[in-house]
Amino acid sequence: MPEKPRTTPERTPPPPPPPEERHLLAVDLGLRTGLAVYGPDGRLKSYRSKHFASNSELRRGVGGIVSECPPLAWIWLEGGGDLAVIWEKQARYRGISYHQLQADEWRRGLMLPRQQRSGDIAKREADGMARRVIEWSGAPRPKGRLKHDAAEAILVGLHGALKVALLDRLPRL
């Protein structure tokens, strides 16, 4: 009698956290990855930069990053390619809503056209705007230089917080 093929049972993702516990994780994707967490009140709670030596190290590290976060309802990621798929799979596995976008999308919503004339200008503007978000949120100030990937993750998260209605309008920065 032939052996039946093994099937992996479908995993049912956990239900989303209650609204008062829902957090948003923003990711500026790359081997140097920017991370920012926004709370249920729409304010920045934490941010950092994480350097991965290789794609395989990033692949191994994503689950740990997500596990260390408070209860997540959303992951907003800037970037694409194979590295984005790693985050998307992790979100799907955990039942977290996943949104992927490119820099020009969040910049259009947060910056004036003159602030986006070139990539260099936009990165410089992102740094200043991210610092104002840190101040507005009451998040800890950076101990040193704010890395551009962390600054961009902060702004991806601000854009996401507006889109998922953690914030009803852009704060005065």
pLDDT tens for 1-15 read: 566 666 555 677 777
Q: Is 125 helix (H, G, I), strand (E, B) or coil?
A: helix
Looking at residue 56, the DSSP 8-state letter turns out to be H
Q: How far is CA 137 from CA 47, 48, 57, in A?
A: 12, 15, 32
Identify the pLDDT of residue 20: 83
- pLDDT for 27-73, tens place per residue? 999 999 999 999 999 999 999 999 999 999 999 999 999 999 999 99
Determine the topology of domain 20-163 in CATH.
Answer: Nucleotidyltransferase; domain 5 (3.30.420)
Task: Work out the number of other CB atoms within 10 angstroms of the CB of residue 138.
Answer: 9
pLDDT at 46: 97
- How crowded is residue 78: how many other Cβ atoms within 10 Å of its Cβ? 28
pLDDT at 8: 55
Q: What is the pLDDT of residues 84-127, one digit of tens each?
A: 999 999 999 999 999 999 998 998 888 888 888 887 888 888 89
Between the CA atoms of 68, 102, 115 and 32, what dihedral angle is there, to the nearest 10 degrees? Answer: 40
**C-alpha 113, offset from chain centre:** 24
Model pLDDT, residue 2: 61
Q: What's the rounded Cα separation, in Å, for the pair 96 and 158?
A: 18
